[in-house]
Amino acid sequence: MLTSRTSIYGLIGHPLEHSISPQIQNAAYTKMGLDAVYLCFRVRGSVVKAVRAAPSLGISGLNVTIPYKSEVIKALDVVDELARKIGAVNVIRFGDETAGYNTDVGASMRVLKEVAGDDLSGRSALLLGAGGSARAMAFGLAREGCEVIVLNRTARKSATLAKDVSSHIPGARISSAALGHRQLEQAIQRSDVLVNATPVGMYPNVGQSIVDAAMLRPEIVVMDLIYNPPVTRLLREASKRGCKTIGGLKMLVYQAADSIQIWTGKKAPIDIMLSEAKRALRNFAFQQS
C-alpha cells in the first residue's frame, strides 16, 4: 500500500511510453519488501530545474535516459569519476548532496564478460554507433584493454568519441571511421566482439540490421543493446552463423539492479527483475499484435 512514508523513485527521459523500467523496478521492491514505488516522470521545461526540485518533493532517486543523460549533470552537486569522464549520468541519488552515477558501463561489461569471458584485454571490439550507449560501451571496452573501432553514420561523432576515450583512458587503443559497407566488412574481419549500439533493428523496425549476415564469422561474440525485441534480426542471423549472442535485456536489468544498490545499499533480485522484464515485453508484443 502506498502511504506518505513510501519512498519515491523514478525515470526521466523522452519518450517514456514504452519503458518497462517501472515493471522491473516495482517487481524488485515487492520482492525486497521495500516500501517504495517507481514512476515515470515526463519533464516539462527545464530538466535541470526538475532535478533540482525533485528532493523537495520527497523523491529519493532517479534514473535518467535519452535525451537528458548529459544535461542533468548541471543539476548535480557531485558526479562519480567514471560518469564525469563519459559525460553521461543515468542514476541520481538525492541525499545530503545530489549525486550522479553511470551504471550503464558496469552493466554492459558484466553482461559481455558472462559470454565472452572475464578477460577482455587484447580483444578487438567493433562498436556501431556513437550515441549515449555507445559512449558507455566505448569507455567500458577501452578500460578493459580492448582495441576498439567505432563506426558511426555521422563520422564526426565517432571521431569525437574516440578522442574523448583516448584523452580520459591512458593507453586506450581506439579508432573511428564513417559507417559504410567497406569499413564494416574490414572491421568485422579483425573483430572478436561486435556491438550494435544503434536503434537499427529496434521495434517497430524489427526487420532492419546494419550488418550483412555473410560478414559474420562464428568466432565473433555479437551483442545488441536493443532489448525490444529481445532477439533482434542481427542476433538471429548471428546465431545462425554460429556466433555467441547477447541481447540488451540483461544489461537493462543489471543497470536497474545497480541503481537500486546505489539508492538503498541493498542487492536487488536479478532473477525476478529479468523475468518481469521478459513478461513486460511479451505483454508489449501481445498488445501490438
Catalytic residues: 69
Nearest to 137 by CA among 255, 47, 256: 255
Q: Which CB, 53 or 126, lies closer to ligand NAP? A: 126
Please give the residues from 104 up to 123 whose contact with ligand NAP meets the rule CB under 6 A.
104
Judged by CB under 6 A, which stretch of 94-102, 151-159, 168-176, 229-237 contacts ligand NAP? 151-159
CA diameter of the chain: 59
Q: Which residue has the cell 568485422?
A: 188
Q: Which segments of the chain does DSSP mark as H helices, in order?
A: 21-32, 47-53, 81-86, 104-116, 132-143, 155-168, 181-189, 233-240, 249-264, 270-288
Q: Per-residue x/- marks for ligand NAP, 29-68, CB under 6 A? A: -------------------------------------x--
C-alpha to C-alpha distance for 189 and 249, rounded to whole angstroms: 27
Q: Which residue has the cell 549500439?
A: 197
DSSP classification of residue 16: -
Pick one of 98, 198, 259, 264: the residue that binds ligand NAP (CB under 6 A). 198
Least Å distance, CB 224 to ligand NAP, is 8
Q: Which residue has the cell 560501451?
A: 137
Least Å distance, CB 196 to ligand NAP, is 8
Pairing mode of beta strands 59-64, 91-94: antiparallel
**233 contacts ligand NAP (rule: CB under 6 A):** no
DSSP classification of residue 209: -
**199 contacts ligand NAP (rule: CB under 6 A):** yes
Q: Per-residue x/- marks for ligand NAP, 177-196, CB under 6 A? A: --x-----------------
Q: Which CB, 59 or 226, lies closer to ligand NAP? A: 226
Residues at the interface with ligand NAP (CB under 6 A) = 66, 104, 129-134, 152-154, 157, 179, 197-200, 202, 210, 225-227, 248, 251-252, 255
